[in-house]
Amino acid sequence: MIQATNASQTSRSETARRAMIDSQLRTSGVNEPFALARMNAVAREDFVPESAREIAYIDRSIPLANGRRMAAPLFYGMMLAEAQPQITDQALVVDSGSGYLPELLRPLVGLLEVITPEQALVKNRKGGCFTLLLVDGAVEELPDSLSGRLGDGARVLTGLVASGVTRLALGRKTAGGVALLPLAEMGIPRLSEFDKAKGWSF
C-alpha cells in the first residue's frame, strides 16, 4: 500500500512538472533545451515545506520554513535561460534558503559556491574570481561586498526592485561595477538585506 501511494505521488509530481514546462515556461518563451531539462529533472516539491508539496508547481511563490519565499517556476526557468551557464563558469549563488536554484545550476557549471544573503553582505577578502552570479530573489541594489566577488566581465542574473515593481534583470561587471538591465516584469520575493539605505529628505 505504501509503495502504491509513493508511486501515485511520483506520478502526480511528474505530471505537474510537465504541466509547469508546457503551461508556464514554454508559453512565456523559455524554450532552451538545457533549461527545460533541468526544470524537469529537479523535483521542486523536495525544496518546499511538507505542507506545500502538493502546490509546489503553482505559478506563484511559496512560503518557506525560514520566513522567506520560493519564487514561481518561471523566475528560475528564465534565469537559467538568460544566464546561459557553461561548464567553464565559476558560479556564485545567493540562495534564499530553499536550495532549489543551486540544484538547478549545479551540473551546468564547473564550480559552484552557495552563500546566504547575510553572507553576501560580508566583505570578501579574496579577489573576484566568479564568472556568473545568480541571486534567488529581488534586490534594490547589489552591494560592493557581493560585486567584489566577481571577475571582470562576469554575468549577473537577479531580481530587481524599482518603484515597488520586481523584474528579472541581467547585468555584467565592468569597470568595477555592475549595471543591471531589467528584462521581464514578474513577481519575485524581495530580499530586504539588499534594500538601499534610506537617507534623510527635506
DSSP-derived secondary structure for 13-72: HHHHHHHIIIIIIGGGT---HHHHHHHHHS-GGGGS-GGGGGGTTSSS-EE-TTS-EEPP
- Structural domain that includes position 163: 2-192
Residue 200 lies in a domain: no
Model-level pTM greater than 0.85?
yes
Helix (H, G, I), strand (E, B) or coil at 186: coil
Residue 199 lies in a domain: no
Instruction: Look at the chain and count its residues.
Output: 202
pLDDT of 161: 95
Decide: 38 and 104 in contact? Cβ < 8 Å: yes
Q: Which amino acid, one-letter code, is at 14?
A: E
Residue 43 lies in a domain: yes
pLDDT of 5: 53
Residue 154 lies in a domain: yes
Residue 156 lies in a domain: yes
Decide: 114 and 102 in contact? Cβ < 8 Å: yes
pLDDT of 9: 67
Decide: 173 and 151 in contact? Cβ < 8 Å: yes
Q: Which amino acid, one-letter code, is at 63?
A: P
Q: Cell numbers of 117, please? A: 544573503
Residue 197 lies in a domain: no
Number of domains in the chain: 1
pLDDT of 8: 67
pLDDT of 1: 46
pLDDT in tens, the chain (202 residues): 445 456 666 778 899 999 999 999 999 999 999 999 999 999 999 999 999 999 999 999 999 999 999 999 999 999 999 999 999 999 999 999 999 999 999 999 999 999 999 999 998 777 679 999 999 999 999 999 999 999 999 999 999 999 999 999 999 999 888 999 999 999 999 999 999 877 555 4
pLDDT of 150: 95
Q: Cell numbers of 70, please? A: 520560493
Residue 198 lies in a domain: no
Query: What CATH number corresponds to the domain at position 18?
Result: 3.40.50.150
